[in-house]
Structure 1
Amino acid sequence: MSANKEVNPWIILDEQEVYQNAWIRLNHYKVINPSGKEGIYGKVHFKNKAVGVIPIDETLHTYLVGQYRFTIQQYSWEIPEGGCPENETALSAAKRELMEETGLQAEKWEYLGAAFLSNSVTDEASEFFVATGLSKYKSAPEETEQLAVKKVALQQAFEMVENGTITDALSVLALQKLQLLWMQGKWKA
């Protein structure tokens, strides 16, 4: 007889908060793992949902944001993205992040999808959108952001994912999903 794969096989024996700040909480667990043995597990809880936007103009160009990422000690090209607090909708946060990082506002918003970004050690959830009908205003990045904004052909952004220039998980997910839907005729510019 096989186990029901959708039933949680983990048993939590003990949970301790190890660290917390305004963005994350780190918990340490003593558990009984799926094999029935005692073990440990660590989990990073994200207090914000991640949101991302692929802004596309009338000439099928998009806007990427470049910045040096402290966590990986590397420069990263990404779609405009940021955090969505619990009291804000993902769409509202996506609109805010697009304006803050690029100075763009959009007339039309399409929901593209959702994903967990690293579900082996975190519960970070994300939602991503396509924004069209763009108008340009002044950007207002946060004090922790030293951003460069680059306008590229949408096809070039797809190629940047393919050749490894774009490695940010949310950006890769969103751009590849859009490319797949476009190739299948399920998304039209």
Structure 2
Amino acid sequence: MNEKRNPWKKLTTETVYDNPWINVREDQVITPAGKEGIYGVVSFKNYALGIIPVDQDGNTWLVGQYRYTLDAYSWEIPMGGGLMENGILESAQRELQEETGLIASHWTEIMKIHTSNSVTDEVGFVYLAQGLTQGLTDFDETEVLQIQKLPFNKAIQMVMNGQITDAISVAGLLKANLLLQK
């Protein structure tokens, strides 16, 4: 059997919900077992963007905010969404400046990630931002953010002890840690 061949057959698709950020559809399918079934897919209208700023002294910045969907407070790397029609790097630069006021002169894409490949087609990109200068924040009207500057190794400790649970933040910080050790 060719494992790279798509074993699913889509019979029909119907949009069941749509707003400016997501589209939810239900597909009638034939499953890999040959049976009729359904599959729900959440399609995002933005890229997910995560940025790990690191200064010359080895500090990074985290953003704390209350996450409505989780009903919990969350510490994360600076992140947000980038419109599909805009450049990914340009959107990441904007997001870093909006949430932290930081402007970086050197950007490295360190990761492309699928955030939850069982129910969504969302693609995320994580950047390492260096050569930092401090500017002004410009929070989105839906954001009440707390910004924390801390040693990068402290952020890694927060991942390891479960204080940082956001998937993009965890994956990005762990990969950045490996890259920065080289």
Query: For residue 174 of structure 1, what is the amino acid of its counterpart?
Result: G
* Displacement of 1:137: 1.1
Question: How far apart, CA to CA, are the structure 2 residues paired with 1:112 and 1:76?
Answer: 22
Q: Give the alignment of 1:114-133 within 5 angstroms.
A: 114-133=112-131
* Displacement of 1:81: 0.6
Alignment partner, residue 143 of structure 2: 145
Residue 66 in structure 1 maps to residue 64 in structure 2: yes
Question: How far apart, CA to CA, are the structure 2 residues paired with 1:73 and 1:17?
Answer: 27
* Displacement of 1:20: 0.2
* Displacement of 1:180: 2.5
Query: For residue 128 of structure 1, what is the amino acid of its counterpart?
Result: V
User: What is the aligned-residue identity percentage?
Assistant: 48
RMSD over aligned Cα, in angstroms? 0.8
* Displacement of 1:13: 1.1
Question: How far apart, CA to CA, are the structure 2 residues paired with 1:37 and 1:54?
Answer: 45
Question: How far apart, CA to CA, are the structure 1 residues paired with 2:180 and 2:133?
Answer: 23
Question: Which runs of 5 or more structure 2 residues have no equivalent in the other structure?
Answer: none
CA distances 1:102-121 after superposition (whole Å, capped 9, x unpaired)? 00001111111101000100
Query: For residue 43 of structure 2, what is the amino acid of its counterpart?
Result: H
Aligned-partner SS, 1:77: strand
Match of 1:18 among 16, 19, 43: 16
* Displacement of 1:99: 0.3
Query: For residue 87 of structure 2, what is the amino acid of its counterpart?
Result: T
* Displacement of 1:98: 0.3
Structure 1 residue ranges (4+ consecutive) displaced by more than 6 angstroms after TM superposition: none
TM-score (norm 2): 0.98
CA distances 1:141-164 after superposition (whole Å, capped 9, x unpaired)? 100000000001100111111111
Aligned-partner SS, 2:104: strand
Residue 8 in structure 1 maps to residue 6 in structure 2: yes
Aligned-partner SS, 2:165: coil
Aligned-partner SS, 1:159: helix
Question: How far apart, CA to CA, are the structure 2 residues paired with 1:87 and 1:152?
Answer: 34
Question: How far apart, CA to CA, are the structure 1 residues paired with 2:150 and 2:71?
Answer: 24
Alignment partner, residue 100 of structure 2: 102
Question: How far apart, CA to CA, are the structure 2 residues paired with 1:182 and 1:107?
Answer: 17
Aligned-partner SS, 2:81: strand
For the structure 1 residues 134 and 182, does the alpha-carbon distance in structure 2 shift closer, same or farther, using more than 3 Å as the test? Answer: closer
Question: How far apart, CA to CA, are the structure 2 residues paired with 1:135 and 1:67?
Answer: 23
Alignment partner, residue 25 of structure 2: 27
